[in-house]
Amino acid sequence: MSIPSFQSFLLPVLEIFSDGKMYSVDECCRIIKDKMSISDEGAQELLPSGTDTRLRNRVYWSLIYFNHALLLEKPIKMHYRITDRGEELLESRPSEITRKMLKEKYPEFAKFSSSKKEKGEDSVDDGNLTPEEELDKAFREMNDGLADELLNNLLQVDPYRFEYIVMELLRKMGYGGISDEAVSVTKKSGDGGIDGIINQDNLGLEKIYVQAKRWANNVGSVEIRDFIGSLSTNKSSKGFFITTSSFSDGAFECAKSADKMVVLIDGDTLSRLMVEFGVGVQTVHSYDIKKIDGDFFEVNK
């Protein structure tokens, strides 16, 4: 089973504490995995940020919410236990627990919730995401919009300028070397189907040939076949074919069946790589997400 929505975790997590015992975050994760029939694969699913598993993140924030609503207490570090208020809630046999319920029923949680400057209950997936997931979602949406804007700009630049942009991206991705000769753009004419040449590594042991096409129409198998022929002419076994458009099925089949290593990068992938490696964009704001360093609070032995 895949990971259920965040609010689906709330009631099962609180029920873990119905026996009055203390449980840590990791213990709750192990119990909830079986309780909610989550598969091993689902339990290993990472957040988009890669900082934590989605399972642990949702259990962790469930405990945070309950602690602020005074349904759970922390007698010792990172261990939780149910309170009288929490027992009363379970005794009422709720069919579910939602963020909206916690805000309406417990003023302490409402204060905590408003301090996070949350938007309306319906603004972010009806509360089915943890705060960290909300941030990840907003970050992805902003980057998706930025990638679309980048692609529109790429379609407006001079084709020769586009070739330079592509080569700069490859340099930022780690190709090339420390010398200016490690990356080169060919002349406007007579390039034999090659728009740029870049070293695969700092030592220049092997060169990668690049074709960069600022096109609106799909790239077909004919163009890929011609590019492969250019690689053979230049005695190269590797090449990038990069375009602002997309590739036909025939183009992918042609690249796959070739005796050369040909990597096809379409417009969507190109613009996302430019965002990831900071080409043609600039950082406006940067946020550090911090978490508690448990070792810092340990008594030296």
CATH number for the domain including 252?
3.40.1350.10
CB atoms within 10 A of CB 70: 15
Instruction: With respect to residue 169, please indicate whether it lies within any of the assigned structural domains.
Output: yes
- Judged against a pLDDT cut of 70, whether residue 115 lies above it is answered with no
Is 115 in the same domain as 222? no
Q: Which of the residue ranges 48-52, 60-64, 87-91 has the most confident prediction, judged by mean pLDDT?
A: 87-91
Which pLDDT belongs to residue 250?
96
Q: Using the CB atoms, write b or e for 261-286: b if 16+ within 10 Å.
A: ebebbbbeebbbbbbebebbbeeeee
Give the total number of structural domains in the chain. 2
Q: Using the CB atoms, write b or e for 165-190: b if 16+ within 10 Å.
A: bbbbbbbeeebbbeeeebbebbeeee
State the CATH number of the domain containing residue 61.
1.10.10
Which pLDDT belongs to residue 116?
47
Which pLDDT belongs to residue 129?
82
Instruction: With respect to residue 296, please indicate whether it lies within any of the assigned structural domains.
Output: no
Instruction: With respect to residue 226, please indicate whether it lies within any of the assigned structural domains.
Output: yes
Which pLDDT belongs to residue 189?
45
Instruction: With respect to residue 119, please indicate whether it lies within any of the assigned structural domains.
Output: yes
Is 115 in the same domain as 162? no
Is 177 in the same domain as 65? no
Instruction: With respect to residue 144, please indicate whether it lies within any of the assigned structural domains.
Output: no
Is 122 in the same domain as 190? no
Instruction: With respect to residue 281, please indicate whether it lies within any of the assigned structural domains.
Output: no
Residue in 145, 159, 143 with CA at minimum distance from that of residue 244: 159
Instruction: With respect to residue 110, please indicate whether it lies within any of the assigned structural domains.
Output: yes
Which pLDDT belongs to residue 152?
81
Is 189 in the same domain as 119? no
Which pLDDT belongs to residue 125?
47
Q: How confident is the model at residue 127 (pLDDT cuts 50, 70, 90)?
A: low
Is 65 in the same domain as 167? no
Domain housing 95 = 6-129
Which pLDDT belongs to residue 245?
94
List CB contacts of 177: < 8 A, sequence separation 6 or more: 199, 201, 202, 203, 204
pLDDT tens-digit series, residues 201-210 = 777 678 899 9
Is 100 in the same domain as 194? no
Is 118 in the same domain as 166? no
Instruction: With respect to residue 284, please indicate whether it lies within any of the assigned structural domains.
Output: no
Euclidean distance between CA atoms 93 and 95, whole angstroms: 6
